[in-house]
Amino acid sequence: MRMTDSTRQTPAPEPADAVSSAGSALLAQPDLLQVGGASLSSRLFLGTARYPAPSVLADAVQAAQVDVLTVSLRRLAPETQSGQAWWQRIRALGRHLLPNTAGCHSAAEAITLAHMAREIFDTHWIKLEVIGDDYTLQPDPWDTVAAAQTLVREGFAVFAYTTDDLVTALRLRDAGVAAIMPWAAPIGTGAGPRNLPALRTLRERLPGSVLVVDAGIGAPHHAAQVMELGYDAVLVNTAVAEAGDPVAMARAFALGVEAGRLAHRALPMRTRDVAQASTPMVGVPFWHQTGA
């Protein structure tokens, strides 16, 4: 039987996540993030606070396929029954846990909380936060560096929250932290990268350091922006937890991070100061010809 337009079979479309690696070495290569002694397939870190329900958090984690979750020891309140229940839910998700020292205002306080977190969560990872100003929640650079130096000596893999200040980042690198986590903007603002040149400088001056943008990311395109600069990962919490649909937003962020990372590896074109036709014609345009 002759196949007509009405009988011709159209191949079923491939799933949105199915990507062919044909013709691209990059697409065929694994791109794991090595940090703190772990190999991570996802470069999106997800916070666990502010979700409307524990089930929503669990669904968001699954939708984004993240490997790392941040948790707050102060939120956990291990001495209470509700704290124990929360801990059980988090542990059941089966991800790497990155406890933080949120709420600390001195190096000594952060160090004490880090030791408590190591015992409770059974991990040497710690997200170091030492706040220097309660209004902007800007980290204290001096106490952050001091705490990092002590915690690294005591065997912690320190993920250090800081601003986009280059000198502080250099001191943290010299302290031996596992990752430096500069903000894009103050915590919870969702403003996106306010100082892209500063973030670009950090990446250029710290080529061998793991850099994770932490705080101020409000939308997936913000995540893509910093990943295109060559950052290794992005941490988000409020932008997902307070979205109209946190589960869908978690997936959107995962795709944004993936797109930005792949774009960086694919080497974007150079920007130009003048126009250049994308479809040049052979010869000279008619309006430039003699006698035209």
SS3 80: coil
Burial class (CB in 10 A: 0-12, 13-18, 19+), 277: exposed
Catalytic residue, from 118, 127, 173, 261: name it.
127
- If you count them, how many residues does the chain have? 292
Percent helix, percent strand, percent coil in the chain, to nearest 5: 40, 15, 45
> What is the DSSP track for 174-224?
HHT-SEEEE-SSSTT-----S-HHHHHHHHHH-TTS-BEEES---SHHHHH
Is 118 one of the annotated active-site residues of the chain? no
The whole-angstrom distance between residue 28's C-alpha and the CA centroid of its chain comes to: 23
Is 45:235 a contact under the CB 8 Å cutoff? yes
Rg (CA), the chain: 23
Distance CA 248, CA 223 (A): 15
Is 224:245 a contact under the CB 8 Å cutoff? no
Distance CA 212, CA 235 (A): 7
Q: Would you please indicate which residues are annotated as catalytic (active-site) residues?
A: 127
